[in-house]
C-alpha cells in the first residue's frame, strides 16, 4: 500500500487547431487556437491564440501567421517552444509549478527529439516531472474508455491536422495508424472545389464555416444551401455564389474514403482476441471531425460495428488527461513510472 502525496497536476492538449491547458483543482485555464503572429522585421511575437486567429488574412506582409503543429507534427519547433512558454508563464504566475507533474498530450507524429525539446521547456519552467502521451490514448480515456483493462477498443480521433486510429488495450496502444486527412484537409478540399467550380477564391474561415454549416456524410432531411463570398480569380473583383449540402457531402466523402481505408488496415492486422472485443465494443469517434453530421451512421454502414460519438468530442483529449491524473500520480508515487523513458515499470494490482 502506498502513501499518496498530493502533487500539483498540469496537462496540455497540443493540438493542430487548438491548445488547451488543465490544472488540477482549477479546471481548464487556457483554450485558444494554435496560432501565433510574428513581426518578420523584428522576429517578435505580436499576437497569440484568438488574437492571432482574428488577424488571419487581414494583415500586411510584415506579419507572419504560424501554426506550430501542422498535420500532426511540429512544423516550427521554435514557435512551439514560444507557445509553451507563453502558456507556462501564465501558469507560473498562478504558482502551480512547484513539484508539479505535467502531462503533454501530443500528436503521434511528434518525434523523440521534439518530445525531448518540449519536455525541456516544461522542465525549465520548473516542472518536476514531464510525461508525454499520445493524443489518441488520452482521447479514448476522455471518451469514457477504461484503458487499464485488457479489453480491445477502437478509437478514431479526427483532429485538425491528422486522423489517428488506434486499438487500445491494457493501457497500451496495441496498433495505431495516422493519416493527414482531418479538419484542415477537409477545409482545403472545399477551397479547391470552390476555386474549380465557381472560379472563386475564398478564405480558410469561410471554408471552415461551409464545413460546419453544410457538412454531412449521409443525406439528411431539409438539406440546405448557403451564400458564400470571395474574390473572382479572373477579374479579381468581389464575388458571391451559392453552395449546397450535396456538393459539400461529395467533397467530404472523397476525403473520408482515405480514413475508412486506414480503419480497414488496422482491423486486418489485429489479433483474433482483440477483434472479438472490437465486435462487442465497437468504434468510438473523437475530435472535431466527429461533429460532422451523420458520421456515426456513415461508419456503421461501412463496418457494421456499434459506433459511438464521444459526448464531448472536441474536449476528449483534455478530459482524458483529467482522468489520467489519478493513474499517473498513483504510479509515480509507487515508483511504477520511469520518467526518463515515459514507460511503466510494473503493472498495478
- Residue by residue, pLDDT tens for the chain (349 residues) are 334 446 788 898 888 788 888 988 888 888 888 888 898 888 888 888 888 888 877 777 888 888 887 766 677 878 888 887 888 777 665 566 667 888 988 877 778 887 888 788 778 777 788 888 888 999 999 999 988 889 999 999 998 888 999 999 988 889 888 898 999 999 999 999 999 999 999 988 899 999 999 999 999 999 999 999 999 999 999 999 999 999 999 999 999 999 999 999 999 988 888 999 999 999 999 999 999 999 999 999 999 999 999 999 999 999 999 988 888 877 777 766 665 555 554 444 3
The percent helix, strand, coil of the chain (3-state, each to 5) is 40, 30, 30
329 CB neighbour count, 10 Å cutoff: 19
Q: Which three cell numbers stand for residue 79?
A: 514557435
Q: Is 144 annotated as a binding residue?
A: no
pTM across the whole model: 0.82
- pLDDT value of position 342: 55
**What number of H helices and E strands is found in the chain?**
10, 20
Residues of the chain with CATH 3.30.420.40: 9-138+315-334, 145-180+256-309
Q: Is 99 annotated as a binding residue?
A: no
Taking the C-alpha atoms of residue 41 and residue 64, their distance in angstroms, rounded to an integer, is: 10
Measuring CA to CA, how many Å separate 21 from each of 38, 114, 218, 315, 319? 23, 19, 35, 11, 10
Q: Is 98 annotated as a binding residue?
A: no
Q: Is 168 annotated as a binding residue?
A: no
Q: Is 137 annotated as a binding residue?
A: no
- pLDDT value of position 336: 62
Q: Which CATH number fits domain 183-251: 3.40.50.970, 1.10.3720.10, 3.90.640.10, 3.40.50.300?
A: 3.90.640.10
- pLDDT value of position 282: 94
Instruction: Note the CATH number of domain 145-180+256-309.
Output: 3.30.420.40
Q: Are strands 283-286 and 69-70 parallel, antiparallel or unpaired?
A: unpaired
Q: Is 290 annotated as a binding residue?
A: yes
- pLDDT value of position 263: 96
Q: Is 288 annotated as a binding residue?
A: yes
Q: Is CATH 3.30.420.40 correct for 9-138+315-334?
A: yes
Residues of the chain with CATH 3.90.640.10: 183-251
Q: Is 208 annotated as a binding residue?
A: yes
Taking the C-alpha atoms of residue 290 and residue 293, their distance in angstroms, rounded to an integer, is: 8
- Would residue 265 be called left, alpha or beta, if left means φ above 0 and alpha means ψ between -120 and 50 degrees? alpha
Q: Is 142 annotated as a binding residue?
A: no
- pLDDT value of position 346: 47
Tally of residues, the chain: 349
Write out the DSSP string of 79-136: HHHHHHHHHHHHHHHTT--TT-EEEEEE-TT--HHHHHHHHHHHHHTT-SEEEEEEHH
- Would residue 148 be called left, alpha or beta, if left means φ above 0 and alpha means ψ between -120 and 50 degrees? alpha
| Residues 64, 107, 104: CA angle, nearest 5 degrees | 95
Amino acid at each position: 500500500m502506498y502513501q499518496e502525496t498530493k502533487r500539483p497536476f498540469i496537462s496540455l492538449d497540443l493540438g493542430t487547431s487548438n491548445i488547451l491547458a488543465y490544472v488540477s483543482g482549477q479546471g481548464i485555464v487556457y483554450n485558444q487556437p494554435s496560432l501565433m503572429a510574428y513581426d518578420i522585421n523584428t522576429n517578435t511575437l505580436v499576437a497569440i491564440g484568438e488574437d492571432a486567429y482574428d488577424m488571419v488574412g487581414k494583415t500586411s506582409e510584415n506579419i507572419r501567421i504560424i501554426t506550430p503543429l501542422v498535420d500532426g507534427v511540429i512544423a516550427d519547433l521554435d514557435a512551439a517552444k514560444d507557445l509553451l512558454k507563453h502558456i507556462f508563464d501564465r501558469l507560473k504566475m498562478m504558482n502551480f509549478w512547484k513539484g508539479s507533474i505535467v502531462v503533454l498530450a501530443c500528436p503521434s507524429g511528434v518525434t523523440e527529439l521534439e518530445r525531448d525539446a518540449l519536455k525541456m521547456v516544461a522542465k525549465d519552467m520548473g516542472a518536476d516531472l514531464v510525461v508525454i502521451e499520445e493524443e489518441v490514448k488520452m482521447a479514448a480515456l476522455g471518451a469514457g474508455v477504461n484503458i487499464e483493462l485488457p479489453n480491445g477498443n477502437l478509437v478514431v480521433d479526427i483532429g485538425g491536422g491528422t486522423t489517428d486510429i488506434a486499438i487500445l488495450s491494457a493501457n497500451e496502444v496495441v496498433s495505431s495508424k495516422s493519416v493527414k486527412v482531418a479538419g484542415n484537409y477537409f477545409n482545403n478540399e472545399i477551397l479547391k472545389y470552390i476555386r474549380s467550380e465557381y472560379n472563386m477564391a475564398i478564405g480558410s474561415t469561410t471554408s471552415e464555416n461551409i464545413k460546419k454549416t453544410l457538412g454531412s456524410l449521409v443525406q439528411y432531411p431539409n438539406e440546405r444551401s448557403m451564400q458564400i463570398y470571395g474574390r473572382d480569380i479572373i477579374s479579381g473583383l468581389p464575388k458571391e455564389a451559392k453552395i449546397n449540402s450535396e456538393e459539400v457531402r461529395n467533397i467530404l466523402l472523397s476525403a473520408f474514403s482515405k480514413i475508412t481505408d486506414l480503419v480497414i488496415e488496422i482491423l486486418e492486422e489485429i489479433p483474433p482476441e482483440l477483434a472479438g472485443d472490437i465486435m462487442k465494443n465497437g468504434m468510438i469517434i473523437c475530435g472535431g471531425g466527429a461533429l460532422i453530421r451523420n458520421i456515426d451512421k456513415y461508419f456503421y454502414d461501412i463496418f457494421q460495428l456499434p459506433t459511438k460519438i464521444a459526448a464531448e468530442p472536441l474536449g476528449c483529449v483534455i478530459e482524458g488527461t483529467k482522468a489520467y491524473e489519478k493513474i499517473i500520480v498513483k504510479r509515480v508515487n509507487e515508483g511504477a513510472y520511469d520518467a526518463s523513458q515515459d514507460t511503466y515499470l510494473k503493472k498495478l494490482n
